[in-house]
Chain A
C-alpha cells in the first residue's frame, strides 16, 4: 500500500522559503496571496500486512521524518 506523509513547519517557526515564494507569487500577478508555507510530502510504499503498522509509522514520523520541535506531521492512507 501507499502511505502519504505531510510534514509542515509549525506556525511559530519562521518559514523564509515560504515567504520568498509568496513574494514571487505576488510579483507574478497574484497580490491576493497572503501567505505560503512550505513543507514536505513523502510517498511510502509499505506492505499493508506489516504488524502494528500505524504505530510504527507514527514512531518513524516522530523520530525521523519530522522534528517535533519545528514541524507537525500527518499520515494519510
Chain B
C-alpha cells in the first residue's frame, strides 16, 4: 500500500506523515516533491501540514498552483483517496476539491492543543471502525483553521453526510465551549461529495503513538488502508 506524501517548500509535517505511515503494518510512504507531475503507482495521497510557500497571500493559495496539484486533482477525480491535514486541508479548499475556506481563528491566537473530536460519519473511507459519536483525541496547531462556508454549502454538507469530524467537549458534546477556533457548526473535517477526498485541521500524523498523547490518528490511516484493500478485493 503506497502513500505519496507531497512536499511543498514550507511543509513541516511531511516527516511526521511518512514516519507515522511507515509505522503501520502494510503501509509504505514516500516523499513526492511538489514539482513532480505524476502520482502514478500510489494508492493514496497525503497533503501534509506546514506553511507551504510561507502561507503568503492566503494559506494554500500559492501551493495550489504547484505542478503536482494537477496530478492530485486528476487522481482525486479518478477516485483515489486524498487526505489533507491542516495546511493540506487549506490547499484542498483553495484548489476547490473541498468546499468552503479556512480563515483566521476567531480569537486570533495560534492554537496548539490536544483536542476531542466526535466522529459524525462512521462508515466513511476515513473513519471505518469508528462508531457514530465515538471520540478521537488529536492535536491541532494552526492560526487559520476557522472553517467557513455559506449557508447553502453547509446545508449540502449536512444533507450529504460530508461532515466527518466536529470539535467536541471532552464528554462529546458539540457546543461552543468545545470549539477552539470559531469554525461554523464546530466543523473539524469534511469530505467531498464522492467521499474520497478528506480535509481536517487536526493532525492524525501527530497522534499515532501513545507516548505523543494519543494514537487515535492511526484509526484514520488504518481506515484508509482498509478502504483501499476492500476496493482491491472488489476489483479482483
Within 8 Å of chain B (Cβ to Cβ): is A57?
no
- Report the number of A-B residue pairs with Cβ-Cβ less than 8 Å: 39
Contact with A along B158-180 (1 / 0, CB 8 A): 00000000000000000000000
Tell me the chain B residues, 38-71 only, with Cβ under 8 Å from chain A.
57-58, 61-62, 65
Residues of B within 8 A of A40 (CB): 57
Residues of A within 8 A of B93 (CB): 69
> B199 → chain A, closest Cβ, in Å?
14
Measured as residues with beta carbon below 8 angstroms from the partner, the interface class of chain B is: 20 to 34
Within 8 Å of chain B (Cβ to Cβ): is A36?
no
Please give me the residue from chain A that is nearest to B109 by CB atom: A16
Residues of A within 8 A of B235 (CB): none
Within 8 Å of chain A (Cβ to Cβ): is B141?
no
Secondary structure class of chain B's binding surface, majority of residues: loop
A64-B56 Cα distance, complex, nearest whole Å: 11
Residues of B within 8 A of A13 (CB): 103, 148
Within 8 Å of chain A (Cβ to Cβ): is B14?
no
Q: A14-B106, A14-B182, A69-B149 given as contacts; is B65 within 8 A of A64 (CB)? A: yes
Within 8 Å of chain A (Cβ to Cβ): is B11?
no
Measured as residues with beta carbon below 8 angstroms from the partner, the interface class of chain A is: 10 to 19
Cross-chain contact of A16 among B62, B99, B100, B107 (Cβ < 8 A): B107
Most chain-A CB neighbours within 10 Å: which of B58, B106, B107? B58
Within 8 Å of chain B (Cβ to Cβ): is A67?
yes
12 CB-based A-B contacts, threshold 8 Å: A13-B103, A14-B103, A17-B108, A64-B61, A64-B62, A65-B57, A67-B58, A67-B101, A69-B99, A69-B149, A70-B101, A70-B103
A→B interface (CB under 8 Å)? 9, 12-17, 20, 40, 64-65, 67, 69-70
